[in-house]
Structures are given as C-alpha cells and as structure tokens.
C-alpha cells in the first residue's frame, strides 16, 4: 500500500488547489454549502489527476528507468505491476467521473474534458514541442473552471488568463530544470522532446510569461469591474506578494537548479510558502473586509 500511495502522487494534489480560486474571488469563501461543494470538486480532481499520473507512469515506465529520480517510481522500479496499476487507474477514473455527476452535470463535463485532455497529453501531446506546455496550462485552466462551475459562479476571463500564464511559467521552468539536470543522452532517452528545447529558448519564453503574468494580475486588480465588484481599489496591495513569489521561484530555478518538481518546491521552500500564505491572507482581508457593492 505504501507503493500505491506513492503511485497516486498525493504531493501533486497541491496543483488542484486552483479549484478554490473561483470560491475566493466570487466572494463566497465563508458560505458553508459552496465551500463544501468546492472541497468536493477538489477531491474529485485529486482522484482524476491520480488516475492520469498512473496512466502516464504505465506508458513511460521504460523511459523513466533512464531518469535519476523517476526510475524509483513504483511502476518503473517494479514495486507495482502494470496490471495492478491498471486496476487502480480504472477505479480512480470511474470513481471521479461517477461522483462528478452527483455533484453537477456541468462539472462532470469539465472533469471529463480534463481527463480526455490529459490522456491525449500522455499518449501524444507531450511529445509535441510547445503544445506540451500549453496542454499542461490548459489542464490548470480546466481545474479553475471546474471549481467555478461546481459552485455555479461567473467564470471571469481574468481567472482564465492569469491561470494559463502562471501554469505556463511553471511548465516552462520545469522543462528548463529537466534539461539542466540531465545529461544530453539521458535527457533524450528519458524524453526525446527535450532535444527540441534549449536553455536560451526556454529563458526567452519564461521571460515572456513571467512579465505577462505579473502585468495581467496587476491589470485585474485595477480593472473597473474588479473595483466595482469588490468595492475597493486596495486589491492592488496584494501585488507585492505575487512579485516576491514569482521572483523567489525564479531564484530557485536559476540559482538552485530547482523547478523540476513544482509541487516539491511549493511544499518545501519556506519563503515561498510564507509569500503564498500572505497573498491569500491579503486577498481575503481586502476583498471580504470591503464587501461587494
């Protein structure tokens, strides 16, 4: 069971926290019923994403054996057999989809789209340059949209824009970390697509999405509709925490060679954790203290 727990990757469930974005920015964080629905949606995305991870590990088991750390994954190392892993894959996928229909039909549609997109990613899209990182970003957008759909609130275009840019930032940083941490031959054996990227190209792309992410969030905080919705112009005061968080992550990627596992960075780097906590606290305090007009 320890190997099965490793197989479903609970540490990566932190990626699904974006599900709660709609709840927070819809000014419904303290509504017990909606909070419960959002939490249920989070759990279902955790089950679905674990199914995707298992499917990916089954397909990549031979390549993972060439990776310094991924070779220790349960399937690649032989701790869990492919038939046993397949059973867990089917159980988790069916459980998430079945329970999604209980929550809401529209949410079930979003979750189905997420599963389909991620399966296509594992089978083909992750071998297509640029489309690979854009697909990962689209997965984050579907999580955010799913969270909003689950509680039946308006899906802001800013939520989609900021989510996809931030997800691209993380995905591109991960590709850079993979290239710099692996030798050329090992990188090509593990993931041939990495040969299509180089550090200079990724640095340019990271620069573009970093600037775009910060500018988009700043514009969102000052947008007339945002100010009118929350009844305050003070949301811009949360921008310094966003800036620090992004700069801290860049520091970890460029100076410490981290970023290959975003969820590990988020769970281990104390300054980044504090910055994220302060940003959440600032948003909640500013938005909910002012109250909607």
Q: Which of 135, 155, 175 is the last residue of a domain?
A: 155
Rounded to an integer, what distance in angstroms lies between the CA atom of residue 265 and that of residue 259?
Answer: 7
> Which are the contacts of 105, defined by CB distance < 8 A and separation ≥ 6?
none
Q: Contact 273/266 with Cβ under 8 angstroms?
A: yes
Residue 183 backbone dihedrals phi, psi, to 5 degrees: -70, 160
For residue 102, the SS3 value is helix
Rg of the chain's alpha carbons, rounded to an integer?
19
Quote the tokens at residue 271.
Answer: 């300054």
Tell me 70's DSSP state: G
Per-residue pLDDT, 112: 95
Sequence-distant (6+) residues with CB within 8 A of 228 are: 293
Question: Does 71 lie in the same domain as 171?
Answer: no
Q: Which domain holds residue 233?
A: 157-293
The residue written with tokens 């998430």 in the block is 96
Closest residue by Cα to residue 272 from 283, 286, 258: 258
Closest of 268, 209, 211, 267 to residue 243, by C-alpha: 211
As a whole number of Å, the end-to-end CA separation of the chain is 52
CB 145, CB 174: distance < 8 Å:
no
So what's the pLDDT on residue 198?
86
Which stretch of DSSP H or E encloses residue 245?
Answer: helix 239-255
Structural domain total, the chain: 2
The pLDDT assigned to 187 comes to 53
Specify whether 71 is located in the same domain as 136: yes
123 with 222, same domain?
no
pTM of the model: 0.88
Last residue of a domain, one of 126, 155, 184: 155
Is 198 found in the same domain as 79?
A: no
Residue 291: what pLDDT?
Answer: 58
pLDDT of residue 24: 87
3-class secondary-structure state, position 111 = helix
Measured distance CA(77)–CA(58) in Å, rounded = 11
> Using an 8 Å Cβ cutoff, are 131 and 92 in contact?
no
The series of mean pLDDT values per 10 residues for the chain, 293 residues long, is: 84 90 85 92 95 90 77 82 90 94 92 94 90 93 94 87 93 88 57 81 94 95 90 92 94 83 84 94 87 52
State residue 262's pLDDT score. Answer: 82
- 212 and 275 housed in the same domain: yes
Query: Is residue 144 within 8 Å of residue 81, measured between CB atoms?
Result: no
CATH value at residue 65: 1.10.357.140
């Amino acid at each position: 069971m320890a190997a099965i727990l490793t197989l479903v990757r609970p540490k990566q469930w932190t990626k699904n926290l974006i599900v709660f974005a709609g709840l927070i920015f819809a000014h419904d964080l303290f509504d017990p019923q909606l909070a419960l629905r959002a939490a249920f949606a989070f759990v279902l995305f955790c089950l679905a994403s674990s199914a995707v991870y298992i499917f990916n590990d089954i397909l990549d088991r031979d390549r993972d054996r060439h990776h310094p750390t991924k070779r220790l994954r349960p399937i690649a190392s032989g701790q869990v057999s492919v038939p046993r892993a397949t059973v867990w894959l089917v159980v988790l996928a069916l459980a998430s989809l079945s329970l999604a229909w209980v929550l809401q039909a529209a949410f079930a549609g979003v979750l189905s789209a997420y599963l389909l997109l991620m399966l296509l990613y594992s089978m083909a899209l992750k071998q297509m340059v640029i489309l690979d990182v854009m697909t990962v970003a689209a997965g984050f957008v579907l999580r955010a949209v799913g969270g909003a759909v689950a509680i039946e609130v308006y899906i802001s275009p800013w939520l989609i824009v900021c989510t996809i840019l931030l997800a691209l930032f993380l995905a591109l940083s991960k590709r850079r970390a993979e290239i710099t941490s692996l030798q050329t031959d090992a990188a090509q054996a593990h993931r041939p697509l990495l040969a299509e990227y180089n550090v200079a190209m990724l640095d340019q792309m990271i620069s573009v999405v970093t600037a775009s992410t910060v500018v988009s969030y700043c514009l969102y905080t000052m947008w007339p509709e945002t100010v009118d919705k929350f009844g305050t112009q003070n949301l811009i005061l949360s921008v310094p925490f966003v800036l620090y968080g992004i700069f801290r992550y860049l520091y970890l990627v460029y100076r410490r060679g981290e970023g290959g596992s975003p969820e590990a960075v988020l769970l281990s780097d104390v300054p980044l954790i504090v910055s994220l906590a302060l940003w959440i606290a600032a948003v909640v305090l500013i938005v909910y203290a002012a109250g909607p007009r």
